[in-house]
Amino acid sequence: MTWESADVLKIPGSATFRERDGWSVFVVDAGRTRRRTIEIGHRNQIEAEILSGINVGEDLILHPSNQLREGVRVRAE
């Protein structure tokens, strides 16, 4: 083990993508995609620690396509 903490918000690494000099995710808000800039702490191949940018309980888009844009209507499957 290289790092441990009891109170961490973590998300699947597959939901994150590089944008400019940082990281982003797409959340689903009222059935539409919303891009959020996030701050990542620790990260491995499976998951990422979130320091800021999203909240517990928000729905994320996993494996977002390069063609996905802000405001696209989506539904959960």
Residue 72 lies in a domain: no
Question: CA 47 to CA 8: how far, in whole Å?
Answer: 11
Residue 41 lies in a domain: yes
Residue 51 lies in a domain: yes
Residue 29 lies in a domain: yes
Q: What is the pLDDT of residue 59?
A: 95
Question: CA 66 to CA 77: how far, in whole Å?
Answer: 20
Residue 30 lies in a domain: yes
Give the domain extent around 16.
10-60
Domain count, the chain: 1
Q: What is the pLDDT of residue 57?
A: 93
What CATH number did the domain enclosing 34 receive? 2.40.420.20
* Low pLDDT (below 70) residues in the chain: 1
Residue 45 lies in a domain: yes
Question: CA 38 to CA 40: how far, in whole Å?
Answer: 6
pTM: 0.88
Q: What is the pLDDT of residue 75?
A: 86
